[in-house]
A and B are shown apart, each in its own frame.
Chain A
Amino acid sequence: QKEVEQNSGPLSVPEGAIASLNCTYSDRGSQSFFWYRQYSGKSPELIMFIYSNGDKEDGRFTAQLNKASQYVSLLIRDSQPSDSATYLCAVNGGVHTDKLIFGTGTRLQVFP
């Protein structure tokens, strides 16, 4: 069973702090890794994707990938109340398919 694991939270951080969201995956064949943000009652919205080991930065967001440890994370700097949402980690299902396997999501709460 290919799995993606996330802590369901909630993760509570004060405004302006760094939020760190973590995800582990079981399939070593996975090539692509995605972070989606989902507001309550809305559909997932892509935040970042990463394919290579290391860090990838986009504005206040940094994705980190460690394939040896099968670990991917998302850092949100200068967290804002508008960042409060559920963050979904998704991993492609292997080399022979393009389906995404999602974790259950981590709920982030940023308080003023």
Chain B
Amino acid sequence: GAGVSQTPSNKVTEKGKYVELRCDPISGHTALYWYRQSLGQGPEFLIYFQGTGAADDSGLPNDRFFAVRPEGSVSTLKIQRTERGDSAVYLCASSPTRGDTQYFGPGTRLTVL
């Protein structure tokens, strides 16, 4: 079956702009996770959803970051007033239910100029 998909694969934006990153999880997976990965580092947790609700948003670095999953499937990560330090690969993962193995999508490479 299809894996986790993320769009766009690459996003270049200017400092101060708003961006949206989309994640489409594996069909039937109820848990969805966002991470970001900087060069030479492991993925860093941002937020995860169980169904439509954010079960843990403790990794969001500040209030410029927000994520939604209104229908319990597709999720959008929203970043306002982007900064150069936001440049990273944003990874989405899904799992059949909470606590199960997480399967990663290909990521979105965000570059803030």
Contacts and interface: CB of A to CB of B under 8 A. Distances in A.
Interface residues of A, number: 24
Interface stretch (A12-20, A41-49, A59-67, A68-76): A41-49
Given A98-B48, A98-B98, A43 B40 contact: no
The CB with the most chain B CB atoms within 10 A, among A49, A99, A102, is that of A99
Interface string B87-105: 0000100010011011111
Interface string A11-52: 000000000000000000000101010000011111001000
A46 B103 contact: yes
A32 B99 contact: yes
A105 B91 contact: no
B44 A49 contact: no
Contact of A100 (B41, B55, B58, B102): B102
B64 to A, nearest CB: 20
A98 B101 contact: no
B72 to A, nearest CB: 16
A88 B42 contact: yes
A58 to B, nearest CB: 13
Given A99-B48, A100-B102, 10 more contacts: A32-B99, A93-B45, A97-B55, A98-B33, A98-B48, A99-B33, A99-B59, A102-B35, A102-B42, A102-B43
